[in-house]
């Protein structure tokens, strides 16, 4: 990077020097012309005629011409001197600006990475970073046959604190708790905020349960002094659950899940600190039960996929449908992804879930193709799946099994997903590209986008987040953002989809802004495959068998 900057500077410098030297040469030529004219005039005025002898005489006898004769040399030297100075000054300015821009880019990228891996309220690592550290600690511990511990801490009755004192004061307490926990730990230990009032602690080097007990006691001591908030003094208690590797589990998901079970057991048994034991499995929270049920539903392929069309704004044709997962739960009814995807992401179930959604979608595409509807499908990909080196192979297998052309599949990946581990994400993304599977940046605008690297991503589409689109008719800022994103995408040679199109007015604005594709309730809600066809056939949108 540095040497390429130096190279560019050298090229720029010599370019500038050559330009300045050109003007010095013009100066020399003008000076010679002046000498020639002056010599001619002196010869003519003094001898009455212009001849070689008279010209030589003028040059020898006229003092003013001698001075004039020096001019080309002075011009040449002066021109060279000025050109070198100018070129180096300009070069230095360019170098200064380049390194300043580069420094700014590094700061912004660090900020983006920090945002994706840290909790914005407490500045502690978030779940993603904790799991990453846990994974590394586990591989070291299994290599060295040593122990490690994880503690999950949940504040007691925090909901009441939040409800009675307000969220602002609740946040103040969470920040104080974070600072106290961090202060009580050794440098090598990590504390993370898992969400809400739940924290986790990773102790990568512990020799025995005794070590963990000592640290738990220190943490409890740290939380003991009253908290001061909004002029009030409050006591906050917490429940601690802990697990040891390898005693209570060998892999990250089991350990995290069991640490939570232990924490719930501590809450139920009104004990402040408990190690996991099989007998506490009955204390699994509703969430854990739901997770076990989700695992079963995936194994038995009982998830459903709804499809939401994406239409070409110019032609009104449905070009693709987005696969959106649904779970028909025997007790809770139809569950939306927001109710189970975050959990599936935390526990690692998301990989199996995505494989199932992909399979169901490709199967449906094969059915549609048989009926003459040659439509593409887009599938949502979470961070874990993008970082899973096996997923591209699973996709290759499914494409072959259902005879779907890879060009007909698009993967929707959010910016934040890519930022978590950019290098690994890019590796997988280039694999998809080599397979001719297209990619879209989903929820564009909500994460932090480093525009500098956007151009290097092997993606086909930017999908503007619905939070900017839905109200763009009455919100000027939103409209400006949508306009800029459309222009940016087109400049980069990418297609743009606007999601969350709910009204005719928004669609009209998008048409004027030259947006390519629209998706939203105006066109259709996500629907089961069979309903989609009948719904679209009653609309003005074209979802018709392609002419073969
Ligand atoms: P997303 O990828 O941003 O999907 C768009 C969401 O917006 C969908 O919610 C869709 O029903 C909703 N939507 C569509 N048109 C409109 C509209 O005009 N107005 C409004 N207000 N909303 C609209 P849904 O189906 O509940 O999905 C929520 C999120 O769950 C998705 O957001 C996606 O991130 C995730 N998700 C869904 N299916 C999967 C999946 O198979 N795998 C993964 N990893 N995530 C999924
Ligand atoms: Ca999506
Ligand atoms: Ca989206």
Per-residue pLDDT of 291-338, as tens digits, reads 889 999 999 999 999 999 999 999 999 999 999 999 999 988 999 998
The token pair at 259 is 């640490």
Quote the Cα angle for 224-227-230, to 5°.
Answer: 170
Segments in 300-444 forming alpha helices (H) = 341-347, 350-370, 383-386, 391-401, 415-420, 422-434
Nearest residue to 141 via CA among 200, 186, 204, 203: 204
User: What is residue 226's DSSP assignment?
Assistant: P
The whole-number pLDDT of residue 506 equals 98
Per-residue pLDDT of 476-513, as tens digits, reads 999 999 999 999 999 999 999 999 999 999 999 999 99
Long-range contacts of 247-254 (CB under 8 A, 24+ apart): 247/147, 248/275, 248/276, 249/276, 250/142, 251/138, 252/131, 252/134, 252/135, 252/138, 252/348, 253/347, 253/348
What is the spatial distance between Cα 314 and Cα 514, in angstroms, rounded to a whole number? Answer: 9
> What's the rounded mean pLDDT across residues 372-394?
93
Q: How many angstroms separate the alpha carbon of residue 111 from the centre of ligand 2?
A: 25
What is the spatial distance between Cα 23 and Cα 26, in angstroms, rounded to a whole number? Answer: 5
Q: Give the sign of the dihedral formed by CA 367, CA 370, CA 371, CA 376.
A: positive
Whether residue 246 is preceded by a cis peptide bond, meaning omega within 30 degrees of 0, is: yes
Choose which residue among 324, 335, 510 to substitute to test ligand 1 binding: the one with the highest number of ligand atoms within 8 A of its C-beta: 324
Nearest residue to 487 via CA among 453, 512, 459, 506: 512
Per-residue pLDDT of 87-116, as tens digits, reads 667 666 666 666 776 776 677 777 777 888
What is the spatial distance between Cα 541 and Cα 528, in angstroms, rounded to a whole number? Answer: 17
Nearest residue to 256 via CA among 138, 391, 388: 138
Q: How confident is the model at residue 7 (pLDDT cuts 50, 70, 90)?
A: low
The whole-number pLDDT of residue 547 equals 43
Residues with CB under 5 A from ligand 2 (ion): 380, 412, 442
Give yes or no for residue 359 CB within 6 A of ligand 1: no
Give yes or no for residue 536 CB within 6 A of ligand 1: no
Per-residue pLDDT of 346-367, as tens digits, reads 778 999 999 999 999 999 999 9
Q: How confident is the model at residue 184 (pLDDT cuts 50, 70, 90)?
A: very high
What is the spatial distance between Cα 456 and Cα 270, in angstroms, rounded to a whole number? Answer: 54
Q: Are 147 and 206 in contact (CB under 8 A)?
A: yes
Give yes or no for residue 388 CB within 6 A of ligand 1: no
Give yes or no for residue 507 CB within 6 A of ligand 1: no
Give yes or no for residue 324 CB within 6 A of ligand 1: yes
What is the spatial distance between Cα 288 and Cα 307, in angstroms, rounded to a whole number? Answer: 28
Q: With the CA atoms of 179, 183, 189 and 193 taken in that order, what torsion angle do they form, in degrees rounded to the nearest 10?
A: -10
Q: How confident is the model at residue 54 (pLDDT cuts 50, 70, 90)?
A: confident
Give yes or no for residue 338 CB within 6 A of ligand 1: yes
**pLDDT of 66 higher than 70:** yes
Give yes or no for residue 308 CB within 6 A of ligand 1: yes
Q: How many angstroms separate the alpha carbon of residue 413 from the centre of ligand 2?
A: 8
Residue with the smallest CA separation from ligand 1 atom 45 is 380
Q: How many angstroms separate the alpha carbon of residue 416 from the centre of ligand 3?
A: 12
User: Three-class SS of residue 447?
Assistant: coil
Q: How confident is the model at residue 19 (pLDDT cuts 50, 70, 90)?
A: low
Atom of ligand 1 nearest to the CA of 344: 44
The token pair at 409 is 């599949």
Q: Identify the nearest ligand to the CA of 341 by its number.
A: 1
Give yes or no for residue 502 CB within 6 A of ligand 1: yes
User: Three-class SS of residue 379?
Assistant: strand
**pLDDT of 548 higher than 60:** no
Q: How many angstroms separate the alpha carbon of residue 469 from the centre of ligand 3?
A: 11
Nearest residue to 229 via CA among 174, 279, 275: 174
Q: What's the pTM?
A: 0.63
Choose which residue among 298, 499, 519, 525 to substitute to test ligand 1 binding: the one with the highest number of ligand atoms within 8 A of its C-beta: 499
What backbone phi and psi angles, to 5 degrees, belong to 157? 50, 30
Q: How many angstroms separate the alpha carbon of residue 323 from the centre of ligand 2?
A: 8
Choose which residue among 308, 311, 337, 519 to substitute to test ligand 1 binding: the one with the highest number of ligand atoms within 8 A of its C-beta: 337
């Amino acid at each position: 990077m540095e040497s390429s900057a130096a190279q560019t500077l050298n090229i720029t410098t010599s370019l500038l020097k050559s330009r300045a030297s050109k003007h010095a040469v013009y100066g020399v030529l003008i000076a010679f012309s002046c000498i020639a004219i002056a010599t001619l005039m002196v010869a003519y005025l003094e001898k009455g005629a212009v001849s070689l002898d008279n010209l030589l005489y003028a040059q020898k006898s006229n003092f003013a011409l001698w001075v004039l004769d020096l001019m080309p040399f002075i011009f040449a030297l002066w021109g060279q001197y000025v050109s070198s100075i100018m070129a180096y000054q300009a070069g230095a300015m360019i170098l200064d600006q380049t390194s300043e821009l580069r420094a700014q880019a590094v700061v912004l990228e660090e900020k983006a990475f920090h945002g994706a891996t840290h909790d914005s309220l407490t500045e502690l690592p978030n779940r993603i970073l904790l799991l990453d550290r846990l994974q590394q600690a586990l591989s070291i511990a299994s290599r060295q046959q040593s122990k490690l511990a994880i503690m999950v801490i949940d504040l007691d009755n925090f909901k009441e604190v939040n409800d009675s004192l307000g969220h602002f004061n609740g946040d103040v307490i969470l920040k104080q708790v974070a600072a106290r926990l961090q202060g009580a730990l050794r440098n090598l230990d990590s504390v993370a905020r898992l969400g809400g009032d739940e924290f986790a602690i990773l102790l990568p080097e512990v020799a025995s349960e005794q070590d963990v007990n000592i640290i738990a006691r220190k943490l409890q001591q740290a939380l003991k002094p009253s908290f001061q908030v909004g002029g009030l003094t409050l006591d906050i208690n917490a429940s601690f659950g802990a697990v040891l590797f390898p005693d209570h589990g060998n892999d990250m998901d089991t350990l995290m899940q069991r640490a939570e079970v232990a924490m719930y057991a501590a809450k139920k048994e009104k004990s402040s600190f408990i190690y996991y034991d099989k007998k506490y499995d009955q204390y699994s929270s509703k969430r854990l039960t739901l997770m076990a049920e989700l695992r079963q539903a995936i194994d038995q392929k009982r998830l459903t996929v709804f499809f939401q069309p994406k239409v070409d704004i110019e032609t009104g044709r449905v070009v693709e449908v987005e696969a959106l997962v649904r779970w028909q739960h025997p007790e809770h009814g139809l569950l939306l992804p927001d109710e189970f995807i975050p959990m599936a992401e935390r526990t690692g179930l998301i990989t199996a879930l995505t494989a199932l959604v992909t399979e169901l979608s490709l199967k449906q595409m094969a059915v549609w193709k048989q009926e003459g509807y040659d439509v593409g499908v887009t599938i949502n990909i979470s961070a874990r799946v993008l970082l899973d080196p096996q997923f591209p192979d699973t996709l290759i297998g499914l494409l072959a099994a259902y005879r779907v052309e890879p060009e007909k599949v698009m993967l929707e990946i959010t910016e934040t997903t890519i930022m978590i581990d950019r290098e690994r994400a890019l590796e997988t993304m280039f694999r998809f590209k080599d397979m001719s599977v297209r990619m879209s940046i989903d929820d564009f605008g909500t994460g932090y986008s480093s525009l500098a690297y956007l151009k290097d991503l092997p993606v086909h589409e930017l999908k503007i987040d619905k939070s900017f689109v839905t109200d763009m008719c009455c919100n000027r800022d939103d409209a400006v953002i949508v306009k800029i994103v459309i222009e940016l995408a087109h400049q980069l040679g990418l297609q743009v989809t606007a999601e969350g199109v709910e009204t005719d007015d928004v669609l009209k604005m998008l048409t004027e802004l030259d947006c390519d594709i629209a998706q939203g309730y105006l066109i259709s809600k996500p629907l089961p495959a069979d309903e989609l066809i009948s719904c679209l056939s009653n609309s003005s949108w074209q979802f018709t068998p392609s002419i073969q």
